């Protein structure tokens, strides 16, 4: 998912040095994560590779995924789980909704509307313009029971031709955001492989007031692939790209610099913001071979880019899985590296494994970011992967208050005694649940000696023995907000002491931030936002409180 659902809302949990199973949420399905097959799995046996999750206001978890690539299955699958990780029987059949789509269908991102309808993007192979087997753009909206919503697009979905016309063959969406006005921002690969960002109306069809016929296409950049996207408070878009150094004349890459990162900024109307970087784009590198995968717009206004790199040119020296390091780069609002961080970026490598990969970064609080991915060892010609969650502060350093060392590694893949001796345990997405737990989504191989993947959703909690170092403001006498529901954007906050305050929409957008004094403060903000938002306060002593607010 995307996404940054409730990403800046909660306090920093602290685990003890020993990352034992007691810190997995034992109330979540089976031993803290989802099983493969069995009575606690859904009607599909939890088969598939999880790509992203989104969390509903009632705590239910919606996951999009890819199925077995060797299957001729013609459906897109979406799973929903109760907050305790059990399949939701009210969704589809046994917690699984499957929509006729095409072969090799994969969902890449998912978001929840304020009315709790589910919006997802992905790709599928089907026939377009006489070309069969080409991966194509798919976007769907589901009702809360898992059925297609016929008020969206054509019978609940839109395809390549609805967005790009007849020229969009091979277009693939990668990133999805829902704006406060109900419109959609979708980024991905467009016609001719060019990076695109699209704005769609709430009915799924292009918003012709954005870009050209609803589409911004980055035509004047070569050798670039769209990766991810962040959206600002005013609707400005930040696209993340990976670029390479191929020289068509020399028919070679730059041996000292194979790939780089690039961030471009669009205005709210879908044109390049010339005040950002150079002519709207900023390119930078952290090593010889860079693979950026995630971008987040922090509450500080800075952009954080996460991915992995290598000190060698991967085209000429194959070192994938042996020399990779996770990295996070800090980009200023004007499109320059933040040099208050040494070199403008931080590298991370965990010595117990050969290589480190970062897949997703979210902001949890102004001084804490969560990053998920995996570590790997190269053993007898195969990779053995383990799920990874990292806590980093705003200075690019490991937050050692998290687990005593700043990270946790989970070894839930299965190794066979013969044949393929690799294993998979990869986290692709990280979210904060409505009750302030950490939810990780990905895939693992649950059967030794086989690459078949199952959904890997794991939940972390903080029990009385976890040495939780941050005190919560749970009593009404310490912190309260009223009236609730809120009308006209006006409400009162009562505090026992002065605190910073943020009001955050469910899509991660900061609606209001400021300071509240000891006693009763009246808060008024000018916004047409409707739906649930989270109010967070944090005192100077580090006490944190959150309240769920309904805006009518």
Give the three-class secondary structure for 325.
strand
Cα separation of 182 and 453, whole Å? 34
* Phi, psi for residue 244 in degrees, rounded to 5: -125, 170
Using a 10 angstrom Cβ sphere, with 0-12 exposed, 13-18 middle and 19 or more buried, the burial of residue 257 is middle
- Residue 507 — pLDDT band, cuts 50, 70, 90? low
Look at residue 505 and tell me whether its pLDDT is greater than 80: no
* Phi, psi for residue 37 in degrees, rounded to 5: 60, -175
Average pLDDT of the chain is: 87
Cα separation of 163 and 172, whole Å? 11
* pLDDT (average), residues 105-121: 96
For the chain, give every domain's residue range. 49-219, 234-471, 479-551
Nearest in space to 227 (alpha carbons), one of 189, 257, 266: 189
pLDDT value at position 551?
84
Look at residue 500 and tell me whether its pLDDT is greater than 90: no
pLDDT value at position 65?
95
| Per-residue pLDDT tens over the stretch 61-72 | 999 998 876 677
pLDDT value at position 157?
93
DSSP summary character for residue 462 = -
* pLDDT (average), residues 357-381: 94
- Residue 130 — pLDDT band, cuts 50, 70, 90? low
- What CATH code would you report for 479-551? 2.60.40.3110
| Per-residue pLDDT tens over the stretch 509-523 | 678 888 888 888 888
* pLDDT (average), residues 40-50: 94
- Residue 22 — pLDDT band, cuts 50, 70, 90? very low
* pLDDT (average), residues 187-192: 94
| Per-residue pLDDT tens over the stretch 224-265 | 999 999 999 999 999 999 999 998 889 899 989 999 999 999
CB burial readout 419-453, b (16+ within 10 A) else e: eebbbbbbbbbbbbbbebbbbbbbbbbbeeeeeeb
pLDDT value at position 468?
31
pLDDT value at position 131?
60
Distances (CA, A) of 109 to 185, 188, 228, 274, 428: 12, 11, 10, 29, 11
pLDDT value at position 20?
30
Cα separation of 357 and 372, whole Å? 8
Residues recorded for the chain: 552
Higher-confidence residue of 80 and 249: namely 80
Write down the pTM of the prediction: 0.81
């Amino acid at each position: 998912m995307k996404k940054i659902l409730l990403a800046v809302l909660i306090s920093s949990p602290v685990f003890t040095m020993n990352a034992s199973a007691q810190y997995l949420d034992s109330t979540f399905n089976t031993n803290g994560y989802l099983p493969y097959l069995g009575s606690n799995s859904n009607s599909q046996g939890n088969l598939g590779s999880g790509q992203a999750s989104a969390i509903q206001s009632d705590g239910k978890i919606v996951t999009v995924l890819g199925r077995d690539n060797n299957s001729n299955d013609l459906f897109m699958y979406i799973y929903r789980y109760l907050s305790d990780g059990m399949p939701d029987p009210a969704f589809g059949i046994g917690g699984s909704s499957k929509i006729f789509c095409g072969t090799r269908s994969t969902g890449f991102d998912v978001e929840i509307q304020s009315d709790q309808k589910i919006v997802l993007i992905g790709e599928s192979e089907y026939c377009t313009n006489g070309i069969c087997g080409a991966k194509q753009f798919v976007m769907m909206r589901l009702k809360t029971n898992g059925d297609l919503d016929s008020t969206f697009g054509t019978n609940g979905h839109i395809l390549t031709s609805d967005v790009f016309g007849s020229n969009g063959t091979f277009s693939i969406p990668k990133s999805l955001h829902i704006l406060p006005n109900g419109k959609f921002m979708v980024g991905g690969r467009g016609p001719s492989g060019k990076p695109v960002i699209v704005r769609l109306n709430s009915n799924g069809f292009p918003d012709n007031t954005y870009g050209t016929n609803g589409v911004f296409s980055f035509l004047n950049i070569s050798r670039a692939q769209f990766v991810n996207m962040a959206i600002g408070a005013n609707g400005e878009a930040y696209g993340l790209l990976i670029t390479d150094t191929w020289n068509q004349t020399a028919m070679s890459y730059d041996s000292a610099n194979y790939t780089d990162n690039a961030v471009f900024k669009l205005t709210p109307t879908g044109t390049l913001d010339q005040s950002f970087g150079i002519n709207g784009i900023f390119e930078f590198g952290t090593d010889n071979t860079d693979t950026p995968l995630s971008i987040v717009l922090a509450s500080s206004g800075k952009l954080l880019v996460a991915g992995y790199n290598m000190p060698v040119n991967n085209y000429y020296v194959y070192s994938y899985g042996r020399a990779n390091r996770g990295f996070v780069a800090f980009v200023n609002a004007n499109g320059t590296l933040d040099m208050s961080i040494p070199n403008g970026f931080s590298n991370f490598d965990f010595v117990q494994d050969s290589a480190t990969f970062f897949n997703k970064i979210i902001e949890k609080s102004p001084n804490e970011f969560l990053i998920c991915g995996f570590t790997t060892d190269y053993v007898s010609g195969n990779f053995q992967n383990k799920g990874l969650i990292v806590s980093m502060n705003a200075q690019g350093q490991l937050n050692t208050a998290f687990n005593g060392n700043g990270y946790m590694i989970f070894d839930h893949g299965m190794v066979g005694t013969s044949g393929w001796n690799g294993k998979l345990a990869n986290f692709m997405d990280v979210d904060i649940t409505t009750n302030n737990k950490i939810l990780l989504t990905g895939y693992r191989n649950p059967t030794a000696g086989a690459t078949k993947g199952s959904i890997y959703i794991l939940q972390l909690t903080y029990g009385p023995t976890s040495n939780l170092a941050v005190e919560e403001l749970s009593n009404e006498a310490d912190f309260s907000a009223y009236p609730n529901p809120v009308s006209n954007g006006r409400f009162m906050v009562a505090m026992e002491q002065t605190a910073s305050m943020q009001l955050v929409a469910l899509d991660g957008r900061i609606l209001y931030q400021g300071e509240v004094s000891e006693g009763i403060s009246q808060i008024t903000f000018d916004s047409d936002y409707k739906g649930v938002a989270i109010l967070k306060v944090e005192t100077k002593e580090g006490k944190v409180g959150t309240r769920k607010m309904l805006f009518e």
